[in-house]
Amino acid sequence: MPKILVKIILIFIPFISLSQEVKIEHLTKNINTVGAELNFVQTNENTAFYTSSTLEEGEYQSLIFRTKLENGEWKKGRYDYLGKAYSYANISYLKEERYIYYSVIDKFGNSKIAIRDYKKPVTQFLNNKINLPYSVNTQAHKTAYNGKSVLYFVSDRKGGFGGMDIWFSVVDKFGNYGEPINAGERVNTKHNEITPFYNLWRGELFYSSDRDLKENGIDIYKASGSLNLWHKSEKVKELNSKEDDLYLSFYDEYSGYFSSNRSPSLFENEENCCNDIFSFQYLKKDTLILTFNDTIKKHLPIKLYFHNDEPDPRTTKTTTSKTYKDSYVSYYILKEEYLKGNPNIEIENFFELTLKGNYNKLNSTLSYVLQSLKNGGKMELHIKGFASPLHEKQYNINLSKRRISSFINLINTFENGELKSYLEIGNLKIIEFPYGEKQSQKNVSDNPKDRKKSVYSKESMLERKIEIVEIIEL
């Protein structure tokens, strides 16, 4: 198959950009060409797949290539044969499975999503639920969420918000695909939303959109949540440029790849014409959350929730040896018990968005606090403790103190005890406000015999918490 002849290649020097503590590097000419390189997905320490698009007899043809990492450099990709069709692209590979997903465009221009068992190389097209006839169906991304398999993909089918939208289908244990559901208005717009990638480590969907095309081309966005329950999307400023940025994928919690036609992407005749592959590496732990806002205080209050009468039930002690992490983990694994006691989508959302989301923000916040202290700062944290009205008042005040105590224990163990030393010398202070049930809502049940309302209701779950309400730099 002929490739585009290289007439002018202006830059072969690797491009490194440091912006908001992210290192962005342009991959070498082993991978990037004057054509378009897209969708670089690293599957293990030394293997990756990517799409390369070339001009063939006046039409663009895309094929999937495999590359190996040797001596710290990705080698020239080799064409990965996937069957007879005009174009292949958009590979998705779930490490825990032996299947790959990819897009196929046949000679008639139909865009479909295919699957292949890598141990038994037979290509199969997904059913008509996913590959809806007379629609574009592309850019599949298989992931796992809360014990479920989820397939995100892009389609222009009816029922969306306009243009290309991101959809998803829940896949059962037998491999059956559920009815596709639109990811919702907090992700999709009347413009084009494309190239979804779900970051399991952060519980965030990364995707690209041309909603601000006149100003910045195609930009990378992200939204925390899952399925069609998302918080408001925001631009990933540290990865975007004035050109097109898309096909973001993570290899691990802090690094990955994306495609862009920013300089110094290679070109033949017209600068910024074609996408190249760039890698990114966040240089500081938890920067993903910390740098998306001007200040960490935008996360406040951080609300940390507890199971009923935890930690250390049936005691009047005001301290505990447990950390909040212990309480969080033991609470989260009770999710099915709560859903059994109160089958309700609000309970599902609480565990996956509220409980987990606040715990993730806690870790990011403590990283920010630790870095500020290392830089010579002094800080004061104001912590409020609460309880539901299920016990008598003094018991609930003591329970609130135990909950704050579990947070202090977490502080003492954070990053192998690095924060503890700042507590001991007084550079970090924690001001406690144990309120017990004083501020609980009147509609929260205090009837121990009605556990559905007093324990398993969303109203009672929201009362059992501590809150980081203020972070003061002294």
Phi then psi for residue 428, to 5 deg, are -120, 125
Among 88-97, 102-111, 265-274, which is the least confidently predicted range?
Answer: 265-274
Q: What is the DSSP letter of 177?
A: B
Residue with tokens 């799409």: 51
Q: Distance between CA atoms of 297 and 365, rounded to whole angstroms?
A: 9
The residues, any chain, with a CB within 8 Å of residue 357's CB and separated by 6 or more, are: 203, 224
Among 166-170, 232-236, 290-294, 391-395, which is the least confidently predicted range?
Answer: 290-294
Q: What pLDDT does residue 303 have?
A: 94
CA nearest 422: which of 376, 364, 473? Answer: 376
In terms of Cβ atoms closer than 10 Å to its own Cβ (0-12, 13-18, 19+), residue 338 is buried
Q: For 125, how many CA atoms within 13 A lie in the half-sphere containing its CB?
A: 17
CA nearest 139: which of 176, 109, 114? Answer: 114
Instruction: Name the pLDDT band for 363 (thresholds 50, 70, 90).
Output: confident
CA nearest 353: which of 187, 225, 204? Answer: 225
What domains can be seen in the chain, in order of their start residue? Answer: 16-288 (2.115.10.20), 296-473 (no CATH)
Cβ-contact 96, 133 below 8 angstroms: no
Q: Give the angle 75-80-82 at the CA atoms, nearest 5°.
A: 165
Per-residue pLDDT reduced to its tens digit, 402-453: 999 999 999 999 988 889 999 999 999 999 999 888 777 777 888 888 889 9
Q: What is the largest CA-CA distance in the chain?
A: 81
Cβ-contact 100, 113 below 8 angstroms: no
Q: What pLDDT does residue 286 have?
A: 45
Per-residue pLDDT reduced to its tens digit, 101-148: 989 887 677 899 989 887 777 788 899 999 999 999 999 999 877 667
CA nearest 101: which of 117, 77, 81, 86? Answer: 117
Per-residue pLDDT reduced to its tens digit, 286-337: 444 444 334 466 678 899 999 999 999 999 999 999 999 999 999 999 999 9
Task: Choose between 440 and 274: higher pLDDT.
Answer: 274
Q: What pLDDT does residue 288 have?
A: 41
The residues, any chain, with a CB within 8 Å of residue 225's CB and separated by 6 or more, are: 186, 203, 204, 205, 231, 353
Cβ-contact 218, 208 below 8 angstroms: yes
Cα→Cα distances 144→96, 165, 229, Å: 9, 20, 16
The residues, any chain, with a CB within 8 Å of residue 147's CB and separated by 6 or more, are: none
Cα→Cα distances 175→73, 122, 142, 178, 233, Å: 37, 16, 12, 9, 30
Q: Distance between CA atoms of 374 and 75, rounded to whole angstroms?
A: 41
**Average pLDDT value for residue range 200-211:** 89
Q: Distance between CA atoms of 88 and 49, rounded to whole angstroms?
A: 12
Q: Distance between CA atoms of 137 and 90, rounded to whole angstroms?
A: 11
Cβ-contact 246, 192 below 8 angstroms: no
The residues, any chain, with a CB within 8 Å of residue 290's CB and separated by 6 or more, are: 284, 296, 364, 367, 368
